[in-house]
Amino acid sequence: MILEALNYAATWPLTSAGQRPFIRSSVNLWARANRCRRDWAEHERRTKAAILTAAEGCRQKRAAVILGSGLLRDVPVVELSRLFDTVVLVDLVHLASVRGWISAKRLTNLRLIERDLSGLDDLLAGREAEPLSFLRQVPYLDFVASTNLLSQIGIGVERRLAGTTDEPRAAELLPRMVQAHLDGLTQLAAQTCLVTDVSYRVLDRHDQEHETVDLMHGVALPDSREEWDWPVIPFGEESLDYRVVHRVIAM
């Protein structure tokens, strides 16, 4: 708890006022990732490999953008910084621990942007969501990766709408946000890579399935290049009797 508190306190002055409410969830994720590092290692390795394979296929390597850069545990950021002239990391919050790691590695061609990539505000205002439209302003953009982000958009929006007058609209808004993200990637002239968990299962110690949830909210995705399981919540993390396994795709 002491390390979490220190990370939170150090991140607060580095984060814009509008994004500060999201620091707590980022710190919680950082703590869980440290606790579950052995169970998450294969997922992180495969995510990095999928991104790097796609990036290496770019004809030109000027600017790369990582959407949902998070803790950088699943992003081959050192390799990308060597491949590209500029690498832009986009997320709601960039923790002090992440910033410190970047400084220690002396990755001087990285740029950090705080941004809500959900498109929720536009939809609530009656506008069509174009959450990736800002990418049109990135000069010499050759590569974009969406990294374990798409499912988190829906989860974050459900939390944000909980208890509000807009909560009943969640079932209608969530598929539209998923589709807007997919459309935004498809419309880019740059090479893209999408890695996302698409569903999860709650399993007991006998591998009996007790629940399954569609994290894409009914939106159909194109065929993937790879698929694998990610034990996001292993036995003992929340329960001694149940674990939660996410299905991940890369395309």
User: For residue range 142-151, what is the model confidence (pLDDT) as tens digits?
Assistant: 999 999 999 9
How does strand 63-67 pair with strand 226-233?
unpaired
pLDDT category of residue 190 using cuts at 50, 70 and 90 = very high
Residue-wise pLDDT for 108-154, tens only, equals: 999 999 999 999 889 888 898 899 999 999 999 999 999 999 999 88
Q: Are 84 and 11 in contact (CB under 8 A)?
A: no
Q: Are 65 and 135 in contact (CB under 8 A)?
A: yes
Provide CB contacts within 8 A for 11, sequence distance 6+.
23, 26, 27, 93, 94, 95, 96
Tell me which DSSP letter residue 18 carries.
Answer: G
Q: What is the pLDDT of residue 171?
A: 87
Please classify residue 202 by burial: count the beta carbons closer than 10 Å to its beta carbon, then call 0-12 exposed, 13-18 middle and 19+ buried: middle
The radius of gyration of the chain from alpha carbons, rounded to an integer in Å, stands at 18
Provide CB contacts within 8 A for 175, sequence distance 6+.
216, 217, 218, 219
Measure the CA–CA gap between 198 and 209, rounded to whole angstroms.
Answer: 17
Residue-wise pLDDT for 46-78, tens only, equals: 999 999 999 999 999 999 999 999 999 999 999
Q: What is the pLDDT of residue 124?
A: 87
pLDDT category of residue 168 using cuts at 50, 70 and 90 = confident
CA–chain centroid gap for 58, Å, is: 22
Provide CB contacts within 8 A for 22, sequence distance 6+.
92, 93
Q: What is the pLDDT of residue 125?
A: 87
Mean pLDDT of 30-40: 97
pLDDT category of residue 21 using cuts at 50, 70 and 90 = very high
Measure the CA–CA gap between 30 and 24, rounded to whole angstroms.
Answer: 10
What dihedral angle (degrees, nearest 10) is formed by the CA atoms of 41, 43, 44, 48?
140
Q: Are 141 and 65 in contact (CB under 8 A)?
A: yes
Q: 245 in helix, strand or coil?
A: strand
Report the chain's mean pLDDT, rounded to a whole number: 95
Q: Which of 135, 147, 140 is nearest to 51 (CA)?
A: 147
Q: Does domain 2-193 have CATH number 1.10.10?
A: no
Position 80 pLDDT exceeds 90: yes
E strand segments, the chain = 63-67, 86-91, 110-114, 141-147, 191-204, 209-214, 226-233, 242-250
Where do the domains of the chain lie? Answer: 2-193
